[in-house]
Structure 1
Amino acid sequence: MELTIYLAGEIHSNWRNELKEKAKSLQLPLHFVGPMENHDRSDLIGEEILGEQPNPIFRDEAASNINNLRTELLMKKSDLVIALFGEQYKQWNTAMDASAAISLNKPLILIRPEKLHHPLKELSNKANVTVETVNQALKVLSYIFDTE
């Protein structure tokens, strides 16, 4: 059995690659999908497809429609969602994706540092599992495949 996992969270750090490499080294049967990790392409995809927009608001709207379609499709096809809240970046998209996973009844692992416990307490309460590190999330994934 192979699981498809949607990796929600900021696209500026290396957390996805870290998780993928560790999962591969453990030989876990996992396939990963997620948002467009090329930030410029994500911001400009509306104009890339629809042409130049009249102002930044229209440019953002066009890109958001396409990015939301991508997220919805990939998340619906996923077996599980991992949402990482880091300490460095604003996490509006992560909160939206974690909420969407809950609405879609997708199992959710929330990764957040202890210092974000209070602002994320309601979301954490709705997640299936809340951990503080990528390594802890990986241990949860490993446990799914353990037989003893």
Structure 2
Amino acid sequence: MASEPPHGNQTGKSGPVAKLRPVVDDPRGLAGPERIGNFGRADENDEDAMKLNVYLAGEIHTDWRETVIAACEGLDIEWSGPVTDHGASDDCGVEIFGAEQDKFWHDRKGASLNAIRIRTGIERCDVLVVCFGEKYKQWNAAFDAGYAAALGKPIIVLQPPEHDHALKEVDAAANAVARTPEQVARALRYVTTAKL
């Protein structure tokens, strides 16, 4: 069994291994050109500003997505999400694969097909934003949040205060709980630019 090679300039199987630079006495990690990115000083016009892929999950009956996206204009964010056309989302399975007499199987076909887009989007995202609206119970949104949590994805929850008790476990797994789409946008702006 081979021992670990000594540190420093070495040659690995794929070529030279760079010598690691010593840590600079800079507790915030902002000093020197050797840092990765420009963390702590980035803004919308900075080429080193953090780029994010954000998946917008949850409630589909209001314009919260459009509000968040508009408020994040100028940030390097790639947006994704589920199919928000309720009719298409519900009926995609039977439209493509044929009618079902039993509503359970009608819904199952649609849910299974939609799951391809949803799972892929959540797996690819850097951050999941999940909205729980006031009018409908979004069981699917809770499932999306749980899936993202299981994958170790950062989560921002958007919910009204009256859902606090019902969503306490989801909120406990989240990195932030917002009350308005504007708060979500401010959080994303802070994360991407490191500025308030």
Q: TM-score, normalised by structure 1?
A: 0.92
Determine the C-alpha separation between the residues in 1 that align with 2:194 and 2:93: 47
Give yes or no for the alignment of 1:73 onto 2:117. Answer: no
Q: Counterpart of 1:111?
A: 158
Determine the C-alpha separation between the residues in 2 that align with 1:147 and 1:17: 23
Q: Counterpart of 2:85?
A: 38
Unaligned runs of 5+ in 2: 1-49
Aligned-pair distance for 1:68? Answer: 1.3
Q: Counterpart of 1:53?
A: 100
Same amino acid, percent of matched pairs: 36
2:109 pairs with one of 62, 77, 81: 62
Q: Counterpart of 1:134?
A: 181
**Tell me, what secondary structure is at the counterpart of 1:54?**
coil
Determine the C-alpha separation between the residues in 1 that align with 2:65 and 2:184: 12
Q: Which runs of 4+ in 1 moved over 2 A?
A: 145-148
Q: How big is each residue's C-alpha offset from its partner over 1:28-73, in whole Å with a ceiling of 9 and x where there is no partner?
A: 1111111101111101111122122232221111111111121101
Aligned-pair distance for 1:147? Answer: 4.2
Aligned-pair distance for 1:140? Answer: 0.8
Determine the C-alpha separation between the residues in 1 that align with 2:84 and 2:142: 17
Q: For the pair shown, which has the larger CA radius of gyration, 1 or 2?
A: 2
Give yes or no for the alignment of 1:12 onto 2:61. Answer: yes
Contact 2:60 2:84 (C-alpha < 8 Å) held by counterparts? yes
Unaligned runs of 5+ in 1: none
**Tell me, what secondary structure is at the counterpart of 1:101?**
helix
Determine the C-alpha separation between the residues in 2 that align with 1:86 and 1:23: 21
Across the aligned residues of Structure 1 and Structure 2, the Cα RMSD in angstroms comes to 1.3
Determine the C-alpha separation between the residues in 2 that align with 1:84 and 1:147: 24
Amino acid in structure 1 at the alignment position of 2:59: E
